[in-house]
Amino acid sequence: MTDAPNRLTIRRPDDWHVHLRDGAVLAGVAKHTAHQFARAIVMPNLSPPVTTVEAAAAYRNRIVAAAGPGFTPLMTAYLTDTIAADEIARGFAEGVFTAAKLYPAHATTGSAHGVTDVANIRPVLERMEKIGMPLLIHGEVTDAHVDIFDREAVFIERTLSGLVRDLPGLKVVFEHITTADAVAFVESAGPNVAATITPQHLHINRNAMFTGGIRPHMYCLPVAKREVHRLALRKAATSGSAKFFLGTDSAPHAVGAKEAACGCAGIFNAPYALESYLAVFEEEGAIDKFEGFASEHGPRFYGLPLNEGTVTLERSGTQVPDMIDANGTPIVPFHAGEELVWRYLG
């Protein structure tokens, strides 16, 4: 890593958690991810969800066509109560599925077909453990009696700790962690457990959703928590620990779907993701830890090669627009209207 005061060059990074959608919006958003990242783990919560090898292969082709050359989408299978272990294993063996995603049913956008009880997919998980296929987890309970700000911590207690104990050989990525509880869990677990951290959970706490009124563009799931949790996430991300790596959870929704009586969850951060993360690392005095988080810890956990090539950022500022036109769909990006300190040069 060359670390001149006003310029930073790092190995080309990857995004280990992104929503690229489909159709016209895919063409409008995939190019932003491909501009900054060599590879991305693509979430399968389309409508209908990506539950077969054929559907994932076809979706991968559409992404490649939309993103252009030089970008590799890494596909995921959407786990349902009834999905067959053979289908998951076949997709992994054929190099179509890189991982499988566990959405507890009704936890978030596009999770209606998710898993109602992890006991239902036990044979699938055992098979994944055996073949070394990573399980990516949206870690929130869906019990309406549990306070929404506690759903991640309760998921650790009720589901995740037992799963990790019973299947110690299973590679688990605890996705988009939002709490000090999750940080502590991941740190105390064995080497098969890691976590992604989004830029928004490093920048905002739950107050951001209510500054002077309701702020739908600050709403995502899991929802941002108290400041103490944000600080724990910043410490984990910038610690240099190989258990934590970059996953934007960029989740675009049309402005009208966010600014509504029942606004969708999701923050579109793909266009300025690296600038956003790097601001945090600089504020924490940890620019030297950025390359590991962005470009090394993820591929090592997944058992994939590190990227060749580099990207460079310079401290000359980026003005984030109020709105981005995603091939005809207007979307408000994370940091809309703000000036970020760093500029991505490519």
User: Of residues 3, 166, 249, 288, which has the active-site annotation?
Assistant: 249
- Select from 13, 44, 104, 266 the one that contacts ligand DOR (CB under 6 A): 266
Residue with tokens 């890189």: 98
Q: Say how many C-beta atoms besides its own lie within 10 A of residue 73's C-beta.
A: 24
- Select from 53, 164, 183, 220 the one that contacts ligand DOR (CB under 6 A): 220
Q: Say how many C-beta atoms besides its own lie within 10 A of residue 86's C-beta.
A: 11
Task: Quote the distance between the C-alpha of residue 74 and its chain's center.
Answer: 13
Question: Taking contact as CB under 5 A, which single stretch among the options 58-66, 152-160, 241-249, 255-263 is the one that binds Zn ion?
Answer: 241-249
Residue 20 assigned to a binding site: yes
- Shortest reach from residue 27's CB to ligand DOR, in Å: 18
Q: Say how many C-beta atoms besides its own lie within 10 A of residue 6's C-beta.
A: 9
Residues 264-293, interacting with Zn ion (CB under 5 A): none
Instruction: Rule CB under 6 A: say whether 279 interacts with ligand DOR.
Output: no
Residues 6-25, interacting with ligand DOR (CB under 6 A): 19
Determine the Cα–Cα distance for residues 104 and 287; give it in Å rounded to an integer: 36
- Shortest reach from residue 260's CB to ligand DOR, in Å: 14
Cβ atoms 24, 329 nearer than 8 A: yes
> Which entry of ligand DOR, Zn ion, none binds 152, CB below 5 to 8 A by partner kind?
none
Among 32, 8, 35, 11, residue whose Cα is nearest residue 316: 8
Among 279, 307, 305, residue whose Cα is nearest residue 13: 307
Instruction: Rule CB under 5 A: say whether 14 interacts with Zn ion.
Output: no
Residue 166 assigned to a binding site: no
Question: Taking contact as CB under 6 A, which single stretch among the options 2-10, 103-111, 177-185, 278-286 is the one that binds ligand DOR?
Answer: 103-111
- 316: helix, strand or coil: coil
Among 203, 164, 208, residue whose Cα is nearest residue 182: 164
User: Which residues fall in the annotated binding site?
Assistant: 17, 19-21, 45, 101, 138, 176, 221, 249, 253, 265
Active site residues per annotation = 249
User: Which residues fall in the annotated binding site for Zn(2+)?
Assistant: 17, 19, 101, 138, 176, 249
